[in-house]
Amino acid sequence: MIEGCCLCGEVQWRFDGQPDGATACNCTACRRYGVLWAYDYQDEGIRVSGKTQAYVRGKALEFHFCPSCGCVAFWRGLQKDKEGRLRIAVNLRLAEPETVAQIPIDHFDGLNTFDDLPRDGRCVSDYWF
């Protein structure tokens, strides 16, 4: 289990288990937020708590941040899948560094091709120098 919270502690999340990777995306939103995402489904592998403010982007995603300190905590899909679940991703940068340091980085080209790119051997700790 990995836990994370915003700077002021008002928004928290919990990721049950260990993510396979931390996604670094270069889309117009993620590169501005500087986030590293870990994915699952709301109230299954990921639980969130605390009051958030949402920025709804298009018809697919809402980015949730703490209205007090401004940290981006998670994104959530706007459409349920066939099983009635909502896809969600938490910002691993809100976890304690030692709990996520060895998670490998997955690169996603959300700007141009919308493709997963090959792993380059880096992990979260490489991003935190």
User: Domains, the chain, ranges and CATH?
Assistant: 2-127 (2.170.150.70)
Burial code (b: 16+ CB inside 10 Å, e: under 16) for 92-109 equals bbbbeeebbeebebbbbe
> For residue range 11-63, what is the model confidence (pLDDT) as tens digits?
999 999 999 999 999 999 999 999 999 999 999 999 999 999 999 988 899 99
**What pLDDT band is residue 129 in, cutting at 50, 70 and 90?**
low
Three-state secondary structure string covering the chain? CEEEECCCCCCEEEECCCCCCEEEECCCCHHHHCCCEEEEEECCCEEEECCCEEEEECCCEEEEECCCCCCEEEEEECCCCCCCCCEEEEEHHHECHHHHCCCEEEEEECCCCCEEECCCCCEHHHHCC
Say whether pLDDT at 117 is over 80: yes
Q: Which two tokens stand for residue 71?
A: 């940290």
